[in-house]
Amino acid sequence: MALAAAFQEPGKVSKAATYFATPEAAGAPRLAESWIRGQEVTGCVWHPVRGLWRRRVERRRQPRPWQARGGGAEIVLEPPGVTADRLSCSAMAAIKTLNPKAEVARAQQALAINISGARGIQDVLRTNLGPKGFFCVIFEGFGRGGCGGARFAPGLLAMRMEALVRRELRGSPLLLLFLRPLLLRPSPSPSPSSPSSLLFVLFSFALFSFALFSFALFSFALFSFALFSFALFSFVLFLRPPEGRLVGLLARVGRHLPWEEGKAEGKAPGAWTLGLKRWHRLVSGAGDIKITKDGNILLHEMQIQHPTASMIAKACTAQDDIIGDGTTSTVLLIGEMLKQADIQIQDGLHPRLIAEGFDLAKVKAQEVLDQVRLKEEMTRERLCQVARTALRTKVHSELADKLTEVCVDAVLAIKEEGKPLDLHMVEIMDMQHKTEMDTQLVKGLVMDHGGRHPDMPKKLSNAYILTCNVSMEYEKTEVNSGFFYKSAEEREKLVAAEREFIENRVKKVIELKKKVCADSDKTFAVINQKGIDPMSLDLLAKEGILGLRRAKRRNMERLALACGGMAMNSFDDMTEDCLGFAGSVYEHVLGETKYTFVEELKNPHSVTILIKGPYKHTLVQTKDAIRDGLRAIKNALDDGSLVPGAGAFEIAAYDALMKYESEVKGRARYGVRAFADALLVIPKTLASNSGYDPMDSLVKLREEYKNSGGTAIGLDITTGEVLEPTVAGIFDNYCVKRHMLDACSVIARNLLIVDEIMRAGLSQLK
């Protein structure tokens, strides 16, 4: 088949052009179409139908949405099959036969895309690692309607203008021109959160118009003032931002700019964005705010378009779903492995040899992991150390110490010998009240609803609890049906029969209550998953029975484990053995929300962690930290062993791999060295986020490890010196480290041996 090819004319060959091949080499034109970004390419094109050459001028195409950015380079996949290396006629012909408009990246370009994507997502999460890692603020976009794709803005300056203002002022460029100096003004000037800011804009423009007027530019002054007024009122009246007023926009923008904090510490308004410790903000269009440094949450919330970065994010979030931790470390290690591999590839090493070295290094690193792990009985003190290590990477140290006791006591309460640990038996309930330091463990159950009758008791002592899933209200039939009455008397008889059917169920509950509570100080409560109608509630209230309806399904199993007894689906065979018991059942009212506490249980196998906090984002942050702490404790109990933390395993593995490198034959040893160098990203990042020089800290760690004779040595993030993690009580989970090694080696290896990336589309095959 004839293949269209572009030949550049003499004198117009550029170094940026792609490689050439002679048409005589295979009996047909073999030259891949050439293109130069930002320039015009003039050449001759072979027309396969007419059989002649025609002159062609190709201009720069618009970039596709699929772009790879990393390391200062920009890689754009452009049709038709542009590559950075030689493309054979057969390969191009095969691709063009399948799809003439196919977008393909091959060899070096595909590898560059993979490396840039891995390093890009690594840069996003680098500052979040460790107890001294920085938080990320994830908040809603301010666009009208809250729609549109997310945009990641690493810094306040980009966030100020592009994310918060430009979305609001879409369609009003003139107003944006006058608001730009106002939004970038430092703190001592009037704050945008006050109406005086709007007056400042109007007054400034009035002075400008008056100056034009004074220079006899009457017509231009009147025209400019009228144009500004039109833009202002069109924005306020027709564009209608969420608050409906320009002042509302300025107030919302001003609330998210840390001008006052910068003023208090003597920093410029943009100083918060400088350097590696900048705060990252993810501007999305959903409608919530989170302050977190949990890598799993960040990867879930970010809208990633880069294909390689998206694949890495999915793999790392899957790790968090399985073992609950290690997301950030995995992302950092993958990015660093590809970075070190890129250095070796630039020196001429084949990617396949590096991949083989990664496989050898992974096996050796797992052997080191088995050597350094500590197999011992998991006492309460040891579990507290594990939980504290995990929690301090999510929240501040004071709150982490508070949550440590809560998480350990919760896990030990639900633990049963010979049975797998089920963390679903730990209910996490949030209450927007007081501060996060008031978070507590309730050895019982907390339900977010209360009694539905004003005469029901608000507090019960020594209460029998009946948990059931029986309807105590009129229910419609499962199929559509209708009733026809001959007279009103027949209708009244039907209503009375239905009422009698429900009352018989309620009377059985009342009879059981009288039986178990006769001649004693015992009380009675009914917790029903289905409904209880007002007349049934009135009957229960007259007997002093607390009735809760519409209980959540997940609480039914927890009630049986916490209080004892069993959930009933029928009242026919109801006995005293079916009842649970609680020493205290009381109702707590907070605003318009009612909470029912079931406490003082004999041997609860289901507990509740009651999270408190003044703000919603505080509750979300604390809840995420508690889940990670619970999972860390569960992993320690399941593994029966721990790994020294603070970067100790990475230092030990690096030393072992450097010795192992000399035993590897061939060029695969360079892959082993790249793997070893990549492991050092963990201690280096810990040192950098703690404010210490990474290289100085790394030298101290390596020297101390050699002098200690193989003792685990880690980094003290408080002083910057070395420490023994086993003495300081800093431990990581064994399963997290092992899964990290497996995932990183597999993902990095697969990305290295990719030699072609194609944009997928809908297949025409049925």
Q: Do 213 and 167 have their domain in common?
A: yes
Is 688 within a domain?
yes
pLDDT of residue 412: 92
Distance CA 137, CA 151 (A): 13
CATH of the domain at 565: 3.50.7.10
Closest CA to 530 of 550, 548, 513: 550
Quick one: pLDDT at residue 36? Answer: 30
pLDDT of residue 176: 45
What are the φ/ψ torsions at residue 121 (nearest 5 degrees)? -70, -25
Neighbour-count burial for 444-457, b at 16+ CB within 10 Å, e otherwise:
bbbbeebbbbeebb
DSSP per-residue letters across 19-75: P---GGGTTS--PPPP--TTS-EEEEEEETTTTEEEEEEEPPPPPPS-EEEETTEEE
**634 and 658 part of one domain:** no
Q: Are strands 714-715 and 6-8 parallel, antiparallel or unpaired?
A: unpaired
Q: Which of 72-76, 136-140, 418-422 has the highest mean pLDDT?
A: 418-422
* Average pLDDT of span 329-333: 88
Domain check: are 662 and 744 in the same one? yes
Strand-strand pairing, 714-715 and 136-140: unpaired
Span 362-409, pLDDT tens digits: 999 999 999 998 888 888 899 999 999 989 888 888 899 999 999 999
Query: Is 113 contained in some domain?
Result: no
Of residues 65 and 706, more confidently modeled? 706
Are the C-beta atoms of residues 636 and 733 closer than 8 Å to each other?
yes
Residue finishing a domain among 106, 123, 146: 106
Q: Are residues 69 and 213 in the same domain?
A: no
pLDDT per position as a tens digit, 206-239:
655 555 555 555 555 566 666 666 555 554 444 4
Q: Are 195 and 268 within one domain?
A: yes
Residue 337 lies in a domain: no
Q: Does 84 lie in the same domain as 11?
A: yes
Q: Are residues 457 and 578 in the same domain?
A: yes
- Nearest alpha carbon to residue 92 among 106, 72, 74: 106
- Asked whether residue 188 is assigned to any structural domain, the reply reads yes
**Top-confidence residue, 760 or 527:** 527
Say yes or no: 10 and 71 in one domain: yes
- Looking at the fold, whether 551 and 676 belong to one and the same domain comes out as no
Q: Which element (helix H / strand E) includes 282?
A: strand 281-284
CATH of residue 392's domain is 3.30.260.10
Express each pLDDT in 707-729 by its tens digit: 888 788 888 888 888 888 888 88
Listed residue (563, 462, 576, 453) closest to 511, CA to CA = 576
Q: What's the average model confidence in pLDDT over 193-212?
A: 52
Same domain, 401 and 460: no
pLDDT at 550 over 70: yes
Q: Is 102 inside any structural domain?
A: yes
Q: What is the CATH number of the domain that holds 673?
A: 1.10.560.10
Does the pLDDT value for residue 265 go beyond 80? no
Q: Is the pLDDT of residue 524 over 50?
A: yes
Q: Show the tokens assigned to 672.
A: 């082993």
Looking at the fold, whether 634 and 648 belong to one and the same domain comes out as: no
**Which of the four pLDDT bands, split at 50, 70 and 90, describes residue 181?**
very low
Q: pLDDT higher for 7 or 698?
A: 698
Q: Are residues 287 and 152 in the same domain?
A: yes
Whether 173 is in a domain gets the answer: yes
Residue 266 has φ and ψ, to the nearest 5°, of: 75, 30
- pLDDT for 609: 93
Contact 429, 557 (CB under 8 A): no
Residues spanned by the domain of 716: 351-376+644-757
Q: Is pLDDT above 60 for 637? A: yes
Q: Mean pLDDT throughout 105-126? A: 74
> 534-549, pLDDT tens digit by residue?
888 898 898 889 989 8
Q: Is residue 131 part of a domain?
A: no
Domain assignment present for 333: no
Bridge partners of residue 447, in order along the sequence: 596
Count up the domains in the chain and report the number. Answer: 5
Contact call for residues 392 and 646 (beta carbons, < 8 A): no
Provide the pLDDT for residue 122: 77
The DSSP output letter for 145 is G
**Residue at which a domain ends, from 292, 308, 333:** 292
Strand, coil or helix: what is 337? Answer: helix
> Higher pLDDT residue, 506 or 289?
506
End-to-end CA distance of the chain: 27
